[in-house]
Amino acid sequence: MARSGSFQTQDIDIAIERITGLFGPHNIKPVGRGKKIQFEHSYAWIADICINWLAYGRELSNSIGEFSDENYCLMLPVGGHYSIEAGGKRVEGGSDSLTVINPTCPVTLEASHDYRNISVRITRSAIDRVLVQHLGERPNSPLTFACHPQVLKDSTESLKNMILQVWRECHQRKSLSTYEAVGRELEGLFASMLLLNVPNNYTDKLTKIHELKPSVGCRATANYLKENATENIHLDDIVQASGLTKTSLYTEFKKYYGMTPMKFLRVERLRLAYETLASATASSISVTNVAIDSGFTHFSRFANYYKKQFGELPSQTLQRHRQKFQ
């Protein structure tokens, strides 16, 4: 359920405990005498997304370690200035920049006394799910964003404005039920905009994919497969939906999507299964039922395809998600 709230403290140890519990290891050290800070934290939870407004009221240094839960943190400054040091390189930023903190890349943040930011926690599962959608296949290495401040462009400026608007409305307890209903879609949108607009180790590959323009027949085929993924689809049905010959469809589809239409269908079904397993709340949900509901008829093949696509068995995805709620 969507919820929001606020918190304040002058105790730095309490602030560290709160931020560490939300994002991962933080070692905050005020600059100058004394340890008192003016820590302010307002938050909005929407499904698995957590949007946070943070201020410390004091010049400080913050060593951010590896995140054990492998979430990403998008930092959008709204006041003051800061710098990020990583890999022996230090880059400064301000309200015209953004920074993505990767789960396995420790950084050091130095911030001015008037530094304030909106920080968004985005789950690794959401990022991976969207990356698979764009690549059409399982990534061969973990996604890593550029860890230094990036100057805002039109697209990332739009993302910042969108996040600010969502945070304001949730903080004022407006539209909470609406945002809760579209929380998963919102998380996917945030993840897509990051993937396509913030430099990362898949940027070149994603750029090449999106620079290609599929034919009308290819687009029609992809839409047909997405809309009917859970149905009993045969190759003849796909060819008919495309309006192309079987040879032309195979050639054009593989050129743009990097796979055959039937593999595209399988990837889409796997994506549906992953989303269901990774968001399961009812204890009655079983892997077998999810496989059938996603369009698979051979369970052993489903499990093998799933592990190849996501690096774990479907039962492991389900178990890992349930543990979060125990």
Regarding pTM above 0.75, the answer is no
Residue type, 202: Y
The mean per-residue pLDDT over the stretch 56-79 comes to 88
CB-facing half-sphere around the CA of 127: CA atoms within 13 A: 25
The per-residue pLDDT for 215 is 83
pLDDT at 1 over 80: no
Range of the domain at 281: 213-323
Q: Which residue has the higher pLDDT, 278 or 73?
A: 73
Based on the domain organization, do 48 and 70 belong to the same domain?
A: yes
Residue type, 189: L
Based on the domain organization, do 184 and 241 belong to the same domain?
A: no
pLDDT band of residue 22 (cuts 50, 70, 90) is confident
Query: The domain spanning residue 70 has which CATH number?
Result: 2.60.120.10
pLDDT averaged over the chain?
88
C-beta of residue 10 within 8 angstroms of C-beta of residue 37: yes
Based on the domain organization, do 201 and 248 belong to the same domain?
A: no
Sign of the Cα pseudo-torsion (305, 192, 293, 246, in order): negative
User: How many independent structural domains does the chain possess?
Assistant: 2
Based on the domain organization, do 137 and 244 belong to the same domain?
A: no
Q: Which residue has the higher pLDDT, 282 or 29?
A: 29
- Own/partner pairs, 239-243, CB within 8 angstroms, 24+ separation: 242/217, 242/218, 243/216, 243/217
Domain termination site, one of 178, 208, 238: 208
The pair phi, psi for residue 75, each rounded to 5°, is: -105, 125
The per-residue pLDDT for 68 is 62
pLDDT at 258 over 70: yes
The per-residue pLDDT for 321 is 67
Domain termination site, one of 208, 233, 268: 208
pLDDT band of residue 60 (cuts 50, 70, 90) is very high
pLDDT at 55 over 80: yes
Domain termination site, one of 208, 229, 255: 208
pLDDT band of residue 86 (cuts 50, 70, 90) is very high
Cα 7 to the center of its chain, rounded Å = 26
